[in-house]
Amino acid sequence: MNAKERFLKAFKHEKPDRIPVFEQAFYSDVASKILNREVFTGGTSLHYEETKAWMKGESAHTEFVDKMREDVLELYKVLEFDAMHVPWRLTEKPAKKIDEHTFFYGDEKENWVIRRYDPASKTFGDVDSSERAQALEDLEKYVDWLEKEWSDEITSGDFTPQLEDLKYFISKTGKTMGAVGGSGIVIPPTQVWLEAVLLNPELVGRYLDCQVKADKKRIKIQKEMGVDAFWAGGDMADKNGPLYSPKVFHNLLFPRLKEICDYCHSLGVFYLFRSDGNLWPVADDLFGKSGVDAYGEIDYSAGMRMKELRQKFPKLTMWGNVSCGDILFSGTKQQVIDVTKECIEATNGIGLIIGSSNSILPGTPVKNVLAMYETAKSYKL
């Protein structure tokens, strides 16, 4: 049984020869220790490295992309992952460098973002942006523009580099490893959008309709390239529960999510919904009625446990319930082994893909990472 067959058996709830393993994101510093050389594989530190490459010119950026692809491919093969995922990149070219760790993107008169790298945490993120001053009227103008223009923009911007990466990885592994595509539908978790949920839900619905229209086109393109399953959904909760009420989810997100899932099934591909946090308040709609095939980024620390999930939703495939913070980053090797076995025993190893609850964070002990995968791969079904 090859990796692709093993990966797909998890979605079909068929017994594999061993538990499949997979990560959607793997920070470069941990990967560098595993491969014994500096590599660029993932996390927001990858965004910082790509930004620095852009500042050196087109040739340096091309070299960076080539190296990144080779590094990711080597990591996945060394760890014997059963599927390949395109790394999350920041492909936008910076407009200028403010200091060693800070960069400006966009147009000072319109849309702009300032991003900064923190060497201590090895993270790179927004510190200021034009969006922070947005009001409800700005969202209305934005949605008006999306309805007129966005359908023609779906193969530009960040999506074109994603397709180029996907083409590369599928050409290298498409016949032997599962091919994972990108998708998503989300209400942005910002103050102005959450206010709009209450003050103008019709506007939010129009925005989500634009996402559905564009997402279906993107899904079709990726399916034709050879994608088997989509890692999708969108962050919508923290440890206390969803950022909006179950009623809001039911009225706004649920029907659009179901439309996307139905479309995926018409094409013969699987749909995995991802979100950190406590999703129990919307679980019946999300996992029982929407049509999602699988659930990922399962937040162990927020009370999302595989045993309860499997009891309530027996047809749901699950990926990633080993806490990336409390267990993999901060725990002992034995704790990692115990939680990994807990996940396997909760599902009998059927409809299960082992991985972290989100990503392999910077500074995660290599011994813990390897213990998770080795426990899964050596477990006798």
Asked, for residue 302, whether it belongs to a domain, the answer is yes
> Can you say how many angstroms the Cα of residue 249 is from the centroid of all Cα atoms in its chain?
20
Helix/strand/coil (H/E/C) assignment for every residue in 206-264: HHHHHHHHHHHHHHHHHHHHCCCEEEEECCCEECCEECCCHHHHHHHHHHHHHHHHHHH
Give the domain range for residue 335.
Answer: 3-38+133-378
Q: Which two tokens stand for residue 363?
A: 């500074």
Determine, yes or no, domain membership for 210.
Answer: yes
What is the sign of the dihedral through the CA atoms of 257, 225, 266 and 9? Answer: negative
How much is the mean pLDDT over the chain? 96
| Residue 268 confidence (pLDDT) | 98
Helices (H), the chain: 3-12, 28-35, 44-55, 58-78, 136-149, 159-173, 191-199, 201-225, 246-248, 254-267, 283, 306-312, 333-347, 366-378
Phi, psi of 359 (to 5 degrees): -160, 165
SS3 318: strand
Mean pLDDT of 332-357: 98
Domains of the chain: total: 1
- How far apart are alpha carbons 340 and 35 in whole angstroms? 23
Asked if pLDDT for residue 361 goes beyond 70, the answer is yes
- With residue 93 as reference, give the H or E element that holds it: none
Q: C-alpha 136: how far from its chain's center?
A: 28
- pLDDT value of residue 159: 82
**Rounded CA gap, 20 and 216, in Å?**
28
Q: If you average pLDDT over residues 227-245, what whole number do you get?
A: 96
In a domain, 51, yes or no: no
CATH number where 198 lies: 3.20.20.210
Residue 15: exposed, middle, or buried by beta-carbon count in 10 A (0-12, 13-18, 19+)? exposed
Could you read off the pLDDT of 45-94 as tens digits, one per residue? 999 999 999 999 999 999 999 999 999 999 999 999 999 999 999 999 99
Buried b (16+ CB within 10 A) or exposed e, 188-209: eeeebbbebbeeeeebbbbbbb
Residue 162 placed within a domain: yes
**Stretch 117-142: mean pLDDT:** 93
Instruction: Report the amino acid identity of residue 174.
Output: G
pTM for the full predicted model: 0.95
Instruction: Please indicate, yes or no, if residue 223 is contained in any of the structural domains.
Output: yes
Given a contact cutoff of 8 angstroms between Cβ atoms, the answer to whether 353 and 377 are in contact is no
Tell me if 140 is assigned to some domain: yes
115 belongs to a structural domain: no
Provide mean pLDDT across the span 272-293: 98
> Residue 52 and residue 60: Cα distance in Å, rounded?
9
**How does pLDDT run across 313-334, given as a tens digit for each residue?**
999 999 999 999 999 999 999 9
Percent over 90 (pLDDT), the chain = 93
In a domain, 150, yes or no: yes
